[in-house]
Amino acid sequence: MARPSFREQVLRAREDAILSSVNRLLAEKGFDAMTVDEVAADVGIAKASLYKHFASKEELAAAAMVQVLDRALALLAELEADSQASPLERLRAATRWTMQVQLAGEMPALPAQNSALRSALSAHRVYMERLVALSETLGSWIVAAQKAGQLDPGLPPEVILYTLFARACDPVLGLLKASGNHSDERIVEMLLSTCFDGLSGSRVPAPARSARGRAEPR
């Protein structure tokens, strides 16, 4: 790219504005309920201008999701650079980040099984490439954490991976935020706890009150 002309910079900036709006609307209402008119109104441009940037509603959503995946990949790179952190600490930090992004209203919902979006995304090269990169890094951390006994070695790694993806869009976050009874920080810490330690809670410290019959076997 020889010269980043002024015009190109303007287009670039506008695209970023569009993607921010799309991500927020995608998080708020989901793909089906989000209308292109709404996006245009939110960005403050004409609907026709949107179609100068993106060929379809699906393209629009895919580009927005690629943006989020790129932010996630940048975070993973940061975490990987911290050689002090254990695999589990990295996974918890990554999960905490996704929850914070969701609370900020910037995490688009997982495309539902039969959404029109799903097939479009599977066919989207850039999106799939980012998704695979993300999965591979997370997958390596998961396997390492299992080897270190920090994650249940009885679970197939893909089950843990899918669960972490799902928790990034967990509706519980939104329900708790809507209830207004807890700070964002507390919500994140509680859900991190339920995710990694379960509803039963971590039993690590000591067999505190183990008088009664213990939990059934897994």
Give the nearer residue to a copy of itself in terms of CB position, either 7 or 218. 218
Residue 87 neighbours by CB distance under 10 Å: 18
Sequence-distant (≥ 6) Cβ neighbours of residue 42 within 8 angstroms: 21, 24, 25
64 touching a copy of itself, by CB under 8 A: no
Helix and strand counts by DSSP (H, E) for the chain? 10, 0
**Single residue of 103, 120, 151, 188 touching a copy of itself by CB under 8 A:** 151
Separation CA 88–CA 195 (nearest Å)? 12
CB nearer a copy of itself, residue 32 or residue 129: 32
Distance CA 200, CA 193 (A): 10
State the nearest-atom distance from the C-beta of 42 to a copy of itself, in Å. 14
Could you tell me which stretch among 19-27, 45-53, 103-111, 133-141 binds DNA (CB under 7 A)?
Answer: 45-53
Q: Smallest distance from the beta carbon of 120 to DNA, in angstroms?
A: 9
Rounded to a whole number of angstroms, the minimum distance from the CB of residue 9 to DNA is: 12
Which of residues 2, 3, 4, 48 is near DNA by CB under 7 A? 48
Among 5, 9, 35, 119, binds DNA (CB under 7 A): 35
Judged by DSSP in three states, 3 sits in: coil
- Nearest alpha-carbon partner for 38 in 58, 17, 62, 22: 22
- Cα 90 to Cα 78: distance, rounded to the nearest angstrom: 10
- Are 127 and 121 within 8 A, CB to CB? yes
Q: Which residues bind a copy of itself (CB under 8 A)?
A: 28-30, 32-33, 86, 88-89, 92, 109-110, 112-116, 148-156, 158-160, 162-164, 166, 169-172, 174-176, 178-179, 181-182, 189-191, 193-204, 207-210, 212-216, 218
